Amino acid sequence: MKITFEYKKLLLLCFLVLGTVYVLTGSPSPVVARGQGNAAQSTQENAEALAQRVPRYQVYEHLFSVLAALDRKADELKAKGEDDKRYREFYKRAAGLNEHQWKELQEIVADARKDIEDVDQEAQALIEKIRERNRQTNTFAPPSPKLEELQHKKNHIFASVPDKIKEKFGDDEFNRFDKFVRSGLSIDQNGVRNPGGRRFNR
Kindly report, residue by residue over 148-170, the tens digit of the pLDDT: 999 999 999 999 999 999 999 99
Q: Which residues of the chain, if any, have pLDDT below 70?
A: 1-51, 186-202
pLDDT for the residue 49? 67
Kindly compute the dihedral angle of the four CA atoms of residues 100, 111, 72, 173, in this order, to the nearest 10 degrees. Answer: -40
| Cα distance between residue 109 and residue 162, in whole Å | 10
Query: How do the residues of the chain divide into helix, strand and coil, expressed in percent and rounded to 5?
Result: 75, 0, 20
| Nearest C-alpha neighbor of 184 from the set 33, 34, 69, 14 | 69
Domain ranges of the chain: 1-53, 56-192
